Structure 1
Amino acid sequence: MAAAAASPPVKIGIIGGTGLDDPDILEGRTEKYVDTPYGKPSDALILGKIKNVDCVLLARHGRHHTIIPTNINYRANMWALKEEGCTHLLVTTACGSLREEIQPGDIVIIDQFIDRTTQRRLTFYDGNHSCLPGVCHVSMAEPFCAKTREVLMDVAKKLGIKCHSKGTVITIEGPRFSSRAESLMFRSWGGDVINMTTVPEVILAKEAGICYASIAMATDYDCWKEHEESVSVDKVLKTLKENANKATSLLLTSIPQIGSMEWGETLQNLKSMVQLSVILPKH
């Protein structure tokens, strides 16, 4: 019997969302500007360590928050992190709550999404890049990595952070917020939180064979809730400022734990699944 393939060294990519992209969490930081077949990522990759685990931080909207959700080059971001050797992606995202019990300041470890975007490139396999020939019909039944989510939930519990162990995120195109009619419709669809960036990030991570998990921080009640102030930028930023330390402590405690675990089988399964999803062109 052939020996099991050696597990690649764990390297964790961190994509920081609005108000959640503080580079100070990394020790021994260096910056690296890269290019990809899909163009330039949102900003420099910031390389460093968290408790001896190699990490790569990328500010999703650029470090000065200059890129609107629609214009983020998700493919370049994902390609750059994959090229840098990331086996895992832990991302943070601000979101609106569509449920009474998910209160502003709560964290949700989302497990499903509904895509309401309209202007985004959702695959690496678009026929325009010879590095990835064919068409990829990747499975999205389980979009997020269950094993990584499990670690985040366990750590949140140990740290006493109020955390919802699953949730469906609705990703809208933005940059505007929802109308009240849309907000109520999304609730009726079974949405738990709403944001502007999970799609296509989670899809591209799957195509790249990276274990992807998202720490969603509820900042407001969107605009569905009567007698509650509707979402606004200052409300979002205020809640993020008051609660960003939760996401930070979750990352700082989870990363060493992920780094100490065995991921060979999980990563191999991801890789095989992607290979089986690609239909190569006939010659």
Structure 2
Amino acid sequence: MTKTMIGVIGGSGLYEIDGLQGAEWRAVETPWGAASDAILTGTLDGVPMAFLPRHGRGHVHSPSSVPYRANIDALKRLGVTDVISVSACGSFREDLAPGDFLVIDQYIDRTFAREKSFFGPGCVAHVSVAHPTCPRLSDACETAAQDAGITVHRGGTYLAMEGPQFSTLAESNLYRTVWGCDVIGMTGMPEAKLAREAELCYASVAMITDYDSWHPDHGAVDITAIIATLTGNADKGRDMVRRLPALLGPDRAPCPHGCDRALDFALITAPEKRDPAVLARLDAVAGRVLG
């Protein structure tokens, strides 16, 4: 058994966790540069927690400029074991209405301007992201949302677009009717891939703000309407997050789905060929397998 530490990455509209005891903002240095912001740490119901505003307080990072590698490294460096990602998304389904939540289990990655791996020349690794989210952690998110009275749906595919513009109507129809996606957002990738490389259990909750541009009765995405929905979703998101420590508990067994052992067979570069400078950057995310 190890000790649980819950990390929450908050998206648009969710910039803090209420009720943390001993709360303090901590700057964490990483080999990948600065994280999006300092990280708010404390305890809730006896469980350590860490909260990172993905876009920074005041929303200073665009989806493409979010320092995803630094964010995941910083959480891992603090001792986080379980990461819950909360983000604003558009819906491709009539039954996923603005104000609803969706617990994601799959992704299609259409981003192209971001660093997507901690590994590369000097230490090559290939992890499986066939199942990019942790079912155990997703269960907790679903239960927490239900207990908070939120309309929550379980299981869906997140289309990660580069942004910062919203979709064209043609793109929206492609993603919805041909590719079968359920929601669209701009920050789910490479965050989920990096969490897997860092051997962190990861769950993703989409807070629905709009119907993207496909819905004939809603027209093009309206940022004013989105912001209005964000305000209500943020309150729901905080209520969901407050319920997670009681569900996950202070003690943690190894992940039954192997998220915390994702690197067991992933390293390809022969030990004698690994670049010491690269290994030094991997001390937090891959320290378990690098000795």
Q: Deviations over 1:243-279 (max 9, x none)?
A: 3222111111122211246432448x33433121121
1:165 aligns with 2:159: no
> Partner of 2:15: helix, strand, or coil?
coil
Q: TM-score, normalised by structure 1?
A: 0.91
- Contact 2:86–2:207 (8 Å) recurs in 1: yes
Aligned partner (choices 183, 194, 203) of residue 204 of structure 1? 194
Q: Residue in 2 aligned with 1:148?
A: 137
Q: How many residues align?
A: 271
Distance 1:152 1:160 in 2: 13
Amino acid at match of 2:173: L
In the alignment, the residues of structure 1 paired with residue 55 and residue 154 of structure 2 have an alpha-carbon distance, to the nearest angstrom, of: 26
Q: Give SS of 1:239's match.
A: helix
The residue that corresponds to 1:66 in the other structure is 60
The reply to whether residue 91 of structure 1 matches residue 85 of structure 2 is yes
1:125-162 Cα shifts (integer Å, max 9, x gaps) = 023xxxxx521211111100000101122232333321
One-letter amino acid matched to 2:217: H
Unaligned runs of 5+ in 2: 274-291
Q: Distance in 1 between matches of 2:255 and 2:161?
A: 34
Q: Identity rate of aligned residues, in percent?
A: 39
In 2, the alpha carbon distance for the partners of 1:86 and 1:115 equals 25
Distance 2:243 2:199 in 1: 24
Name 1:3's counterpart in structure 2. Answer: none
Structure 1 SS opposite 2:265: helix
Structure 1 consecutive aligned stretches of length 4 or more whose deviation exceeds 3 Å: none
Which deviates the most, 230-239 or 37-46? Answer: 230-239
Q: Normalized against structure 2, the TM-score is what?
A: 0.89
Question: Deviation of residue 31 (structure 1)?
Answer: 1.5
- The residue number in structure 2 matching 1:47 is 41
Q: Once superposed, what is the RMSD of the aligned Cα atoms?
A: 1.5
Which of 208, 211, 226 is 2:216 aligned to?
226
Partner SS for 1:93: strand
1:57 Cα deviation after fit:
0.8
C-alpha spacing 1:222/1:55, structure 2 compared with 1 (3 Å): same
Aligned partners of 1:105 and 1:243 also within 8 Å: yes
> SS of the residue aligned with 2:192?
helix
Cα deviation, 1:65-90, whole Å, max 9, x if unaligned, reads 01101011100000000000000001
Amino acid of the structure 1 residue aligned with 2:254: G
Q: Does 1:29 align with 2:18?
A: no
CA contact (8 A) 2:17 2:242 kept: no
Match of 1:119 among 109, 113, 118: 113
Q: Which amino acid in 2 is paired with 1:179?
A: T
1:150–1:24 distance in 2 versus 1, CA, 3 Å: closer
**1:206-235 CA-partner distances (Å, limit 9, x unpaired):** 000111111110000000011213212211
Unaligned stretches of 5+ in structure 1?
A: 1-6, 128-132
Aligned residue in 2 for 1:216:
206
